[in-house]
Amino acid sequence: MDPADRARVEAWLRYGDDLGLGPYYRSRATQGTAAEPELGAQFGSAPRAMAAATPARASAPALGLAPKTSVSGSQPAGGAAQKSAQAAASVLPVIAGPSLFEAADRIENDTLEHIRADIGDCTRCKLHKGRTNIVFGVGSMKAELVFVGEGPGHDEDLKGEPFVGRAGKLLTQMIEAMGLRRQDVYICNVVKCRPPENRLPEKDEITTCSPFLYRQIDVIRPKVICCLGSCASQTLLQTTQGISRFRGEWFDFRGSKLIATYHPAYLLRNPNAKGEVWKDLQKVMSVLGLQPKRK
């Protein structure tokens, strides 16, 4: 096999292992058949397979949201070359068996601690170079409501906690207006490391990091996921449509109800949009049976 292809396959396998998909690859290996396409051809679809492994399954198409047809692959770096190469040769060409999508749907007995441990001292994407702290997520693992933001900013990077800066204070106010406390919900981001100069996370960074978000959501199994802003909603709904097209609508996301609303940072710049966001939050409250906080 071409050494460059081999290195890419190995990187994908390591990445799969990091995501807890190692057992899946191994179990598929036992169902193998001989008549398989070349590994190179199979590898061409590896990024797609990982997109499937990132279990973003929402009812977006039914609601007219165009799902992404391709996801750029990330190229994780580092070790275990020989073992992975053997696994690649025996595992990747297999066609029979359950789809990667189904098999990777949920990782049995996963926990937030496992996910954090799997992230480790992550160097999978370039964002690691500028970070101070990985910002994993905070709140209750039994939360009925999960807020998903974009990525840590300056304050979050320093503290290692999401939404602690100006936008975070506004989010806390929003949560309290709903009759909840910050510790009653779970708060996390699409990417766990701060993008430089608070730029938007790039596609490869999102592709690399979002599987950990999916696992967090799978562990918590909230009743409602509230996506804050375009990045979170486009990532989870697998769409490129602008948030204003679908904000305030309900979607299904792996057994949770998902709603998108504007990001608190947007509200800081556009306070007139607060009314729209409050309407969205009231929809969430009605699903969760919450009463607004009394003054």
Interface positions with ligand URA (CB under 6 A): 149-153, 156, 162-163, 165, 167-168, 189, 265
β-strand partners of 149: 189
107 versus 135: smaller Cβ distance to ligand URA: 135
* Residue 14 CB, nearest approach to ligand URA (Å): 28
- Cα R_g (the chain), whole angstroms: 20
**To 10 degrees, the CA torsion angle through 65, 66, 72, 78?**
30
* Residue 190 CB, nearest approach to ligand URA (Å): 8
- SS3 readout for 240-268: CCCHHHCCCCEEEECCEEEEEECCHHHHH
167 versus 281: smaller Cβ distance to ligand URA: 167
9 versus 180: smaller Cβ distance to ligand URA: 180
Minimal CB distance residue for ligand URA: 149
What's the rounded Cα separation, in Å, for the pair 260 and 227?
A: 5
* Residue 198 CB, nearest approach to ligand URA (Å): 8
β-strand partners of 228: 261
Tokens of 259: 């709603």
55 versus 149: smaller Cβ distance to ligand URA: 149
* Residue 75 CB, nearest approach to ligand URA (Å): 25
* Residue 237 CB, nearest approach to ligand URA (Å): 16
What's the rounded Cα separation, in Å, for the pair 214 and 255?
A: 12
Check: CB of residue 224 under 8 Å from CB of residue 259. Answer: yes
73 versus 151: smaller Cβ distance to ligand URA: 151
